[in-house]
Structure 1
């Protein structure tokens, strides 16, 4: 019996309409159920493990033990069930495909299982990409909705690891949803034990290495999806105007992306949109958006009409009395460090590494960046901001060191003053000497001084000296 013919044994109220596609390890069917005058549709995905008898024979030859062969495939089934349960835990999230129910059928006397997953019926993004192009506002809407889904995954410590058009769906209401958590794992289990799962065209560079990676691999993959939608369905480093793409060109484009080369602008993207995609797809994880919410905020700003200069200014300027997370790439903090700062003071905690000193540079109210323009010049086209000198410290921007207060003028003035005073004092003294005995005042002064001195000094033999 064909697996799809067994559907009525699990859900007798549902009827198979048609086969709508194939996915990893299975096929997808549209099913319907009628209640009163209304007809409801759902999608049923059937996953067969193993996919065929050849897989069983290959594993049996390798293990050479029937019990161990069955146990091997049983563990795969258990992993799939765990991931389906994971999706059911996410039910209610507005931008995640809703899983309604699932069943598992084990074939008697065979090493074979069929897993039936019933979920809401949606249209796959790949079907739309083959029919029409997407405008930038539509791409922003898709990115914003997917950021909602990734934010929900973040709260549950989940990394999807396989974001691509085939796992993105759109509802009749125009909402985009993330589905197919077939390779999703808890964040604590991602020490690259299965790092090669996913799709190469959308995978972050660190997923190809045996190192730890975090949830930014999902925002990276989302950035590549947005890039392709705005580049006529061509990935980075591929000619969007070429009529045909050869396999060798795709391999070279993949190698260029994984080597860390800066992504060229998509053919149909504005400068603001290109800035968002470039940040999401930064080669180093610490330079990407630290959370899906921050990427969503920039996408919504583009929808509201903000320019790239305004987006970059918002990176450093936050409304007063509002706490904002410090970006690791902005202030060169460790990727796992999260700090808050008050934008009106721009004060950094003493144990954090910041490229500016608040006791050296002060910001005026109309400035949008804490960086001094002479030390950290802004990129071209990103605004002009200059350092404001601290009134309590004389900062010399040219010499890059505190300048000393000039002392030479004060020394010269002091010397001149001393010369003038000495000149007038000498003139008076010379006049007294020239007058000599003619000046009775001088004679009396000398006589009185001698008398006082002789009467006040004791004699050498213990008596007092007589006055002359």
Structure 2
């Protein structure tokens, strides 16, 4: 909405965006006379244009010697000038007389520019000096940036910038904005044209405070050039805080990644209406190669209600960074998008029925939390390989079964330990040692996932190093969902808590539910694919508690009964399906369906929820389908069990899909497994 500081474009120094609309005329005769008196004895030359007086090269203005015009627009003009004593080149901004003649505007200008001059940050253009109370013109001198702006970058990349470059630019802008907000200053004109690139490297944010001042003196038609980035509350004339800049930064991120604004309408009224009422576009539908996690980032940044946005610009930058990092875990392009709804289980990740021939009578015992050191994983894996021949050579069927049971238990423990290790390593980054981070990540991957990671490792390194985020992770809960008879392939479900700490700003905590496919290698169990459709974030530091670890090896006898594990898993899937899946035409039977799969105590606790669902469905006529997959067992006794389940719920009217992982507690009553509690949702 305001003038941009000087910047050099392609082919030399060019004009920046000088603001939307038409300014008022040129300098009047009184102002010209005053300028002549102030600069008596100096050679002042000007040219009158449609937007005011433009000073020519050689003119001395406010003791600055003008070298050349950089840009001119409705708000005034920007010059490259030199200070006679400081011997430095500056960007000299001269505001047109229409604003300078307004006492209210002058007062606001002085106040805001004084605040901006107090900002000292490597990503903010410095303000050196400004007009005094006796100056007839409003002007200020700023740091001259020899480079282009982000608009110039977008002009050469109409489909959007490379992902790493876009995240890096937004991160630098977020640092500048959060610093200014901490000083009590809003920008209110965040847009690509106000992001300057110094010689293609450092980003600097310009026009702090000036946008707020000039907004108070212009009509809506004068801000058409920046309507694309304005937060809804500003159109409604509601109180503003730093979240107006979060919104604008979100719009800017959208444009950096797609080459277009979120609401690219030519009609001003349509743009305003879209900011006020239209949902944000789904960015991955515009640019298919983007991680789907960025959809939620954009939706949060562009929320209509400020309370639903990120609290700070740094939170937005970290969320965008995390969406990219999460997507790097996917092993193939197909894994980059959320899995589509599918048929209800049982599916390939449910435990198979017992084999009539007696083969594979060993069940699946699972770990939840706690660390297993890498040497233990390697030893278990080595033991599997070494002992297989002995099992085949046994002359005793009983000995063979016992050996098979032990081998399977060892493989189960090692596979789950490998899943926990892979999740933790992939969720840990050190921005100051990205070579070490990348090497650690490669050490837990194999197959197609390792191949894809190798192709994207440099981009990941650049993104993480630029964002400057340090991430540490803890496994909250993990379970093995399947292990093949050959003890070479497994599927696990893991819930990871990651804490992301930027160089500046508040830390954020993500709970990430992921499904992992693992392969046994000579170096232990490694991940060959990871999908993480479910991520929840907050800006608190309240860490969740990891679940306890059950016994390992063959010491938990209940896990060795395949029929028992299959029964409780099937019952858990049926219970969750009854709770989460419904049809509007059959909603009267919803409560009875839930009652049939829950204990009496659990049903009493769910009564209010059931009534709410029934009322809502009758009003909205919404149907839902639920897919429960994968399903892992974390605890099993004769009459108690606990499952860790991946959940995908697809709704109609409107069409939405939500992902989560839930902990399901089951109780066996009269020979039937029933849902007794839902203690955790991730």
Same fold at TM > 0.5: yes
Report the alpha carbon displacement of residue 202 of structure 1 after superposing the two structures with TM. 0.8
Larger displacement relative to structure 2 (143-152 or 295-304): 295-304
Structure 1 equivalent of residue 282 of structure 2: 264
The whole-number CA distance in structure 1 between the counterparts of 2:677 and 2:126 is 60
Larger displacement relative to structure 2 (298-307 or 137-146): 298-307
The whole-number CA distance in structure 2 between the counterparts of 1:23 and 1:149 is 26
Of residues 121, 125, 129 in structure 1, which corresponds to 2:145?
A: 121
The whole-number CA distance in structure 1 between the counterparts of 2:175 and 2:200 is 16
Contact map agreement 1:28 1:43 (CA 8 A) in 2: yes
The whole-number CA distance in structure 1 between the counterparts of 2:678 and 2:323 is 42
Structure 2 equivalent of residue 292 of structure 1: 313
Does 1:213 find its partner at 2:240? yes
- Normalising by structure 2, what TM-score? 0.40
The whole-number CA distance in structure 2 between the counterparts of 1:214 and 1:365 is 47
Report the alpha carbon displacement of residue 225 of structure 1 after superposing the two structures with TM. 1.4
Contact map agreement 1:324 1:341 (CA 8 A) in 2: no
The whole-number CA distance in structure 2 between the counterparts of 1:373 and 1:389 is 9
The whole-number CA distance in structure 2 between the counterparts of 1:172 and 1:35 is 26
Deviations 1:98-123 (A, max 9, x none): 1122233746xxxx433232323243
Report the alpha carbon displacement of residue 231 of structure 1 after superposing the two structures with TM. 2.4
User: After superposition, where does 1:270-349 map in structure 2 within 5 Å?
Assistant: 270-301=291-322, 304=325, 306-307=327-328, 317-319=496-498, 340-344=541-545
C-alpha distance 341-177 of structure 1, shift in aligned 2 (>3 A): same
Instruction: Indicate the structure (1 or 2) with the bigger Cα radius of gyration.
Output: 1
Higher share of residues assigned strand:
2
The whole-number CA distance in structure 2 between the counterparts of 1:373 and 1:237 is 41
C-alpha distance 168-365 of structure 1, shift in aligned 2 (>3 A): farther
Structure 1 equivalent of residue 122 of structure 2: 94
The whole-number CA distance in structure 2 between the counterparts of 1:98 and 1:82 is 16
Report the alpha carbon displacement of residue 177 of structure 1 after superposing the two structures with TM. 1.6
Report the alpha carbon displacement of residue 161 of structure 1 after superposing the two structures with TM. 1.2
Report the alpha carbon displacement of residue 331 of structure 1 after superposing the two structures with TM. 9.5
C-alpha distance 302-104 of structure 1, shift in aligned 2 (>3 A): same
The whole-number CA distance in structure 1 between the counterparts of 2:544 and 2:275 is 36
Any idea what SS the aligned residue of 1:230 has? helix
Report the alpha carbon displacement of residue 162 of structure 1 after superposing the two structures with TM. 1.3
The whole-number CA distance in structure 1 between the counterparts of 2:542 and 2:217 is 37
Instruction: Structure 2: give runs of 5+ residues left out of the alignment.
Output: 1-43, 47-53, 329-335, 339-425, 428-471, 475-494, 511-534, 548-604, 606-631, 635-642, 651-655, 668-672
User: After superposition, where does 1:5-404 map in structure 2 within 5 Å?
Assistant: 8=60, 10-11=62-63, 15-22=65-72, 25-32=75-82, 41-50=89-98, 73-91=102-120, 93-104=121-132, 106=134, 112-122=136-146, 123-133=148-158, 134-172=161-199, 174-183=201-210, 199-232=226-259, 234-238=260-264, 247-248=266-267, 251-252=269-270, 254-265=272-283, 267-268=286-287, 269-301=290-322, 304=325, 306-307=327-328, 317-319=496-498, 340-344=541-545, 385-389=661-665
Contact map agreement 1:195 1:208 (CA 8 A) in 2: no
C-alpha distance 324-165 of structure 1, shift in aligned 2 (>3 A): closer
Deviations 1:180-218 (A, max 9, x none): 1244569xxx9x999979632111112211433321111
RCO comparison, higher one (Cα < 8 Å, 6+): 2
Report the alpha carbon displacement of residue 227 of structure 1 after superposing the two structures with TM. 1.4
RMSD over aligned Cα atoms: 5.0
C-alpha distance 398-302 of structure 1, shift in aligned 2 (>3 A): closer
